[in-house]
């Protein structure tokens, strides 16, 4: 039986009873005689018993803290009086009273030579922080003292000393500076640091984001918040470069000052990258950094803890642990919520952090959280350290890339991203082996995405996996004498849909739609119709009627096919039915409703009914701006389409206004090499040319050509088309006949190969080239 629990007659030794010692430890010293208190603090036997009682209370506090998780998800194991965002969590009552009432942490008697101590400004799991004034310099500072005061355990004192040692070595504008440290008259540890007037990171993010707003914020607001995280990453990178891992990064430990600059603080749980060892008389003993992190222990704040932390694998903690915490904070700043629900039993919380995917960011409308931004956040939140950013600086670099509109590194590790980029660059190609590769890529992406979405249902996931392996694995790159065609690839896929997915009607229907759309993109309308109509019949049978969103999706695919076939009346009837279903199921202000309206608008353009087309596009524009805000790529696309209607209606002034607005948004939200940006440059340039604004028109046309030359092969017909437009301008209006002739010559060669000599585009390029030759001939011979 431990000595503290063994009944003993202490009268003969003059030692206080166990109840008196517990009162001293729990902070009820006011009920203890001064003589008993004085004896206990000077008697070796009593000091040993006090230490045992403190350890027992410490263990109890840890057990009770781990047994419950508060709304903020804060658990600091081994620290009495655990707090989350300034609010005290549940814990041992005795330990809490001891932590809050004992020693100088109460603040009533705290005195430090050279400082005037003011009010308490923060109370955390291990320490209390006061506002103070340094008398010699009249400088406002913050003073932190151990929460347990003179009753702190050796481990707590060592941890506090380590915080002083590690933080004092860091000098960075975004890390709180340590000015001084020492012991109070009664032996309590303290440290003096700069005082930051500001608010915690989460409070600042709430102010910037305004989560309650009905519409998402602009890209500029997103970048404002991201710029703050750039600075946080720089500060953490600096700490890492100086051998310090924070291990407890959270909003409460990052203060944002009145100028919007972040300051990282509280290195109480920090860890040195290389443990030190102290030597005493030649014998090796564990150093301060070795002894403070025990195997299978958890230190930190649960909501922001990395998987390796919640698993208790202290040996696995490194700089990528801090990267994860920054990722959680960025997720929370963008969405207003944590990636995992904290209001559930602790085992479920731990399992979610260690094994589950974060909640989708796409459902949050506070910011324009596009695919690239989600990719950045999710890379930082990877369960496997090897798949995270390998440093805080790499995290910062990708944030910088995103703000600047440059390609992000996180995407470069994604096969979907690389395939997507390839698809965008080559989507206009037709015919030959290149087309086969492109459409096979489309097919593979669609299959893979569907596989990912279906994996929540184990049986479906397994069937799709088998389907993908068998279908794509069975397609050989060549057959005797020639390459495999796209048609053969799709035919093989159809064969396997029937075999591999029997009994999985919804998955089968989804794949049939994908195959049908691929046939449509190749112009094989008969085959496309068979598969799309079959998918529609399957879904109608599964759901019982046509008033279902899955059925509407199949109907929409059929409407697109009828449009491409030139069967406009049928296409319109189908699109109107899809619109009715989506309005009923999703409400009138949903983005899928807007997409259907855009399809109807595009159909009316093909029917040359520009007035009705403009009405449909106008309704789509209203929905998209209401839901997405103004600065959004879909809004820009709608403005582009409305601009085209004005151009076709001969209202060039309005067309130029609308295309100019579309271009402005695209320059703000898209990467500088996005293909849609090239389309806007070209359209705006041609309208300026028609309006006689030649200088600005040339700028826009050259930008369109620059973008397309960067993202497309040199012999792509879209580059040739742009060269033809710019070449004609240079020959006819620009006064640069030789440069124009070079552009027109290249354009003619590409267009001839792509479309033949009788195509209007080819003949137009030839006419321009001949005119350029005549002009140069006339100049040469002064004719």
**pLDDT, mean of residues 467-492:** 46
Residue predicted with more confidence, 758 or 214: 758
- Decide: helix, strand or coil at residue 27: coil
Residue predicted with more confidence, 328 or 310: 328
Question: Diameter of the chain by CA atoms?
Answer: 130
Bridge partners (DSSP) of residue 146 are: 127
Kindly list the distances between the CA atom of residue 336 and the CA atoms of 231, 328, 349, 625, in Å, as whole numbers in the listed order. 20, 11, 18, 22
Residue predicted with more confidence, 670 or 347: 670
32 contacts 101 by C-beta, under 8 angstroms: no
Q: Which of 570, 547, 548, 546 is nearest to 558 (CA)?
A: 570
Q: What is the pLDDT of residue 594?
A: 92
Residue predicted with more confidence, 574 or 439: 574
- pLDDT of residue 281 exceeding 80, the answer is no
**93 — pLDDT class (breaks 50, 70, 90):** very low
Cα(676)–Cα(679) distance, integer angstroms: 5
64 contacts 91 by C-beta, under 8 angstroms: yes
**pLDDT, mean of residues 298-302:** 63
Among 410-419, 538-547, 586-595, the least confident range: 410-419
Bridge partners (DSSP) of residue 745 are: none
Strands 254-257 and 198-200: antiparallel
Residue with token string 């009432």 = 101
Kindly list the distances between the CA atom of residue 769 and the CA atoms of 412, 705, 718, 763, in Å, as whole numbers in the listed order. 41, 18, 18, 10
pLDDT digits (tens, 9 = 90+) for 2-57: 333 333 334 335 787 766 776 676 655 445 677 777 787 778 778 877 777 766 66
475 contacts 492 by C-beta, under 8 angstroms: yes
**pLDDT, mean of residues 405-431:** 51
pLDDT digits (tens, 9 = 90+) for 614-627: 889 989 998 998 88
Residue predicted with more confidence, 45 or 418: 45
Quick one: 306 exposed, middle or buried, by C-beta within 10 A (0-12, 13-18, 19+)?
buried
Q: What is the pLDDT of residue 79?
A: 32
Residues 6+ apart with CB under 8 A from 375: 408, 410, 411, 414, 417
Cα(559)–Cα(470) distance, integer angstroms: 31
pLDDT digits (tens, 9 = 90+) for 320-377: 999 999 999 999 998 888 998 887 777 788 888 988 888 877 555 455 677 788 889 9
Share of the chain above pLDDT 90, in %: 25
Q: What is the pLDDT of residue 63?
A: 41
Q: What is the pLDDT of residue 555?
A: 93
Q: How crowded is residue 370: how many other Cβ atoms within 10 Å of its Cβ?
A: 17
Helices and strands (DSSP H and E) totals, the chain: 31, 16
Q: What is the pLDDT of residue 284?
A: 37
pLDDT digits (tens, 9 = 90+) for 155-173: 677 778 777 777 777 889 9
Q: What is the pLDDT of residue 523?
A: 80
**Which of the residues 248, 266, 322, 676 is marked catalytic?**
248
Structural tokens at position 451: 């596989």
Q: Which of 85, 77, 83, 84 is nearest to 61 (CA)?
A: 77
Quick one: 203 exposed, middle or buried, by C-beta within 10 A (0-12, 13-18, 19+)?
middle
Quick one: 520 exposed, middle or buried, by C-beta within 10 A (0-12, 13-18, 19+)?
buried
DSSP 298-341: --S-GGG--HHHHTT-GGG-SHHHHHHHHHHHHHHHHHSS-SS-
- pLDDT of residue 715 exceeding 70, the answer is yes
- pLDDT of residue 62 exceeding 70, the answer is no
Residue predicted with more confidence, 33 or 294: 33
Angle between helices 694-711 and 675-690 (to 10 degrees): 160
**pLDDT, mean of residues 570-597:** 92
Residue predicted with more confidence, 228 or 44: 228
Residues 6+ apart with CB under 8 A from 555: 536, 546, 574, 577, 578, 581
pLDDT digits (tens, 9 = 90+) for 511-555: 788 888 877 877 888 888 988 998 898 888 888 877 888 899 999
70 contacts 45 by C-beta, under 8 angstroms: no
Please report the sign of the dihedral spanned by the C-alpha atoms of residue 367, residue 372, residue 375, residue 380: negative
**pLDDT, mean of residues 625-653:** 89
Among 101-115, 184-198, 297-311, 400-414, the least confident range: 101-115
Across 498-549, the runs of DSSP E, i.e. the strands, are none
Angle between helices 549-564 and 591-606 (to 10 degrees): 20
- pLDDT of residue 724 exceeding 90, the answer is yes
Q: What is the pLDDT of residue 513?
A: 84
Q: What is the pLDDT of residue 233?
A: 96
Q: Is 498 a catalytic residue?
A: no
Among 202-216, 491-505, 577-591, 645-659, the least confident range: 491-505
User: Mean pLDDT highest for which of 76-90, 205-219, 587-601?
Assistant: 587-601
String of b and e for 135-151 (b: at least 16 CB within 10 Å)? eeeeeebbbbbbbbbeb
592 contacts 586 by C-beta, under 8 angstroms: yes
Structural tokens at position 497: 């849909």
Residue ranges of the alpha helices (H) in 179-218?
201-209
Residues 6+ apart with CB under 8 A from 132: 112, 115, 116, 117, 118, 140, 141, 142, 143, 192
Q: What is the pLDDT of residue 256?
A: 93
- pLDDT of residue 209 exceeding 80, the answer is no
Q: What is the pLDDT of residue 754?
A: 85
Q: Which of 611, 534, 668, 664 is nearest to 217 (CA)?
A: 668
Q: Please provide the average confidence, as pLDDT, over all residues in the chain.
A: 75
Q: What is the pLDDT of residue 270?
A: 57
**pLDDT, mean of residues 130-151:** 84
pLDDT digits (tens, 9 = 90+) for 733-764: 878 888 989 999 999 999 998 888 899 999 99
723 contacts 744 by C-beta, under 8 angstroms: yes
pLDDT digits (tens, 9 = 90+) for 565-577: 899 999 999 999 9
478 φψ region: left (φ > 0), alpha (ψ -120 to 50), beta (else): beta
Residue predicted with more confidence, 533 or 428: 533
Q: What is the pLDDT of residue 468?
A: 44
Residue predicted with more confidence, 151 or 129: 129
Provide the terminal-to-terminal Cα distance of the chain, rounded to the nearest Å: 118
Residue predicted with more confidence, 363 or 646: 646
Alpha-carbon dihedral of residues 47, 49, 52, 58, nearest 10 degrees?
A: -70
């Amino acid at each position: 039986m431990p000595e503290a629990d063994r009944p003993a007659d202490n009268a003969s030794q003059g030692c206080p009873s166990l109840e008196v010692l517990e009162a001293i430890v729990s902070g009820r010293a006011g009920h203890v005689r001064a003589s008993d208190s004085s004896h206990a603090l000077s008697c070796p036997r009593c000091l040993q018993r006090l230490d045992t009682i403190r350890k027992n209370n410490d263990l109890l506090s840890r057990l009770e803290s781990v047994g419950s998780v508060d709304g903020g998800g804060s658990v600091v194991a081994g620290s009495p009086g655990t707090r989350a965002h300034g609010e005290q969590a549940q814990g041992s009552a005795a330990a809490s009273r001891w932590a809050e009432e004992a020693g100088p942490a109460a603040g009533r008697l705290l005195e430090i030579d050279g400082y005037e101590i003011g009010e308490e400004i923060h109370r955390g799991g291990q320490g209390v922080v006061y506002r103070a004034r340094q008398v010699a310099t009249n400088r406002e500072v913050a003073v932190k003292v151990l929460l347990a005061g003179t009753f702190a355990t050796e481990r707590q004192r060592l941890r506090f000393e380590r915080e002083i040692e590690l933080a004092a070595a860091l000098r960075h504008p975004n890390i709180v500076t340590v000015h001084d440290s020492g012991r109070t008259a009664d032996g309590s540890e303290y440290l003096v640091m700069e005082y930051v007037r500001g608010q915690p990171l989460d409070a600042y993010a709430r102010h910037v984001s305004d989560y309650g707003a009905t519409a998402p914020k602009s890209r500029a607001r997103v970048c404002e918040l991201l710029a703050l995280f750039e600075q946080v990453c720089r500060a953490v990178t600096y700490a890492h470069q100086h051998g310090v891992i924070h291990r407890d990064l959270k909003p409460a430990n990052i203060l944002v000052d009145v100028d919007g600059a972040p300051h990282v603080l509280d290195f109480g749980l920090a860890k040195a990258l290389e443990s030190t060892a102290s030597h005493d008389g030649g014998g090796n003993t564990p150093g301060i950094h070795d002894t403070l992190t025990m195997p299978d222990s958890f230190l930190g704040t649960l909501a922001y803890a990395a998987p390796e932390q919640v698993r208790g694998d202290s040996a696995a903690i490194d700089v990528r642990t801090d990267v994860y915490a920054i990722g959680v904070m960025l997720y929370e700043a963008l969405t207003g919520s944590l990636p995992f629900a904290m209001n559930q039993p602790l085992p479920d919380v731990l399992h979610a952090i260690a094994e589950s995917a974060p909640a989708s960011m796409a459902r949050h409308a506070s910011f324009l959280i596009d695919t690239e931004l989600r990719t950045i956040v999710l890379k930082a939140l990877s369960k496997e350290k090897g798949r995270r950013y390998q440093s805080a600086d790499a995290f910062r670099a990708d944030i910088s890339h995103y703000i600047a509109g440059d390609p992000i590194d996180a995407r470069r590790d994604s096969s979907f991203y690389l395939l997507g980029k390839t698809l965008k660059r080559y989507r206009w190609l037709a015919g030959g082996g290149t087309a086969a590769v492109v459409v096979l890529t489309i097919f593979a992406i669609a299959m893979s995405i569907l596989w990912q979405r279906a994996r929540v249902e184990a049986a479906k996931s397994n069937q799709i996996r088998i389907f993908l392996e068998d279908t794509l694995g069975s397609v050989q790159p060549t057959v005797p004498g020639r390459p495999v065609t796209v048609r053969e690839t799709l035919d093989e896929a159809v064969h396997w849909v029937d075999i591999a997915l029997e009994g999985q009607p919804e998955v089968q229907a989804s794949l049939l739609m994908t195959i049908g759309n691929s046939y449509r993109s190749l112009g094989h309308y008969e085959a496309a119709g068979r598969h799309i109509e079959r998918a529609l019949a399957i879904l109608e049978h599964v759901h019982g009627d046509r008033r279902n969103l899955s059925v509407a999706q199949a109907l929409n695919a059929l409407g697109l096919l009828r449009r491409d076939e030139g069967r406009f009346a049928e296409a319109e009837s189908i699109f109107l039915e899809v619109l009715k279903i989506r309005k009923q199921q999703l409400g009138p202000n949903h983005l899928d409703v807007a997409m259907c309206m855009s399809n109807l608008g595009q159909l009316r353009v093909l029917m040359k009914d520009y007035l009705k087309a403009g009405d449909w596009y106008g309704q789509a524009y209203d929905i998209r701006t209401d839901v997405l805000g103004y600065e959004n790529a879909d809004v820009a696309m709608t403005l582009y389409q409305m601009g085209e209607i004005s151009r076709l209606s001969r209202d060039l002034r309005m067309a130029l206004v609308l295309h100019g607005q579309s271009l402005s948004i695209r320059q703000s939200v898209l990467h500088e090499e996005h293909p849609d940006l090239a389309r806007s440059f070209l359209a705006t340039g041609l309208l300026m040319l028609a309006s006689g604004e030649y200088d600005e028109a040339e700028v826009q046309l050259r930008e369109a050509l620059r973008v397309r030359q960067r993202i497309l092969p040199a012999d792509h017909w879209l580059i040739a088309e742009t060269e033809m437009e710019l070449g004609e301008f240079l020959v006819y209006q620009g006064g640069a006949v030789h440069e124009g002739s070079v552009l027109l010559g290249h354009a003619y060669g590409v267009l001839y190969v792509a479309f033949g000599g009788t195509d209007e585009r080819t003949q137009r390029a030839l006419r321009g080239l001949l005119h350029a030759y005549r002009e140069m001939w006339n100049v040469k011979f002064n004719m």
